[in-house]
Amino acid sequence: MSGVPPWYAVNEVLAFLIELAALVCLGWWGFGAGHEGALRIVLGVATPALAVAVWGLFAAPRARLRPGLPLVLVVKAVVLGGGAAALYAVGHPVAAGVLAAVTLVNTALAEAFRSRAAREA
């Protein structure tokens, strides 16, 4: 990442960590959703797997289908917001609020950095 401002690089690393946290929270929710047996395993594995698939199709930097910014932001809101909602659902409302707030600020900064870089290019 040479030539990239350090705050941009830090924000991108934070974005990746938030994505991982969302997947962990979705899996945590799935495994602890109160169901027994196979459904618990299916939810614990399938929920984050579905999030990864949707992210890879629409929101990843090298997404297979790169829609416009509004749809990308919707996908990010659903996946990352879903992680915060899952954290809330497993009984950690303060941590969920912090995750949601950090996600919101991180996403806003990332989009601001990207649009600024596009204008300068």
Q: Look-up: residue for tokens 């945590």?
A: 28
What is the span of the domain harbouring residue 95? Answer: 6-120
- 66 in a domain, yes or no? yes
- Rounded CA-CA distance 74/1 in Å is 28
- 76 in a domain, yes or no? yes
So what's the pLDDT on residue 2?
Answer: 58
- 54 in a domain, yes or no? yes
Give the chain's domain count: 1
- Rounded CA-CA distance 13/4 in Å is 13
- 41 in a domain, yes or no? yes
So what's the pLDDT on residue 90?
Answer: 95
Please report which residue ranges of the chain form alpha helices under DSSP H: 6-31, 38-58, 69-89, 93-120
Is the CB of residue 80 less than 8 Å from the CB of residue 70?
no
Per-residue pLDDT of the chain (121 residues; tens, 9 = 90+): 456 678 888 999 999 999 999 999 999 999 998 778 888 999 999 999 999 999 999 998 888 898 888 999 999 999 999 999 999 999 999 999 999 999 999 999 988 887 777 677 6
So what's the pLDDT on residue 96?
Answer: 98
- 1 in a domain, yes or no? no
- 27 in a domain, yes or no? yes
Is the CB of residue 102 less than 8 Å from the CB of residue 28?
no
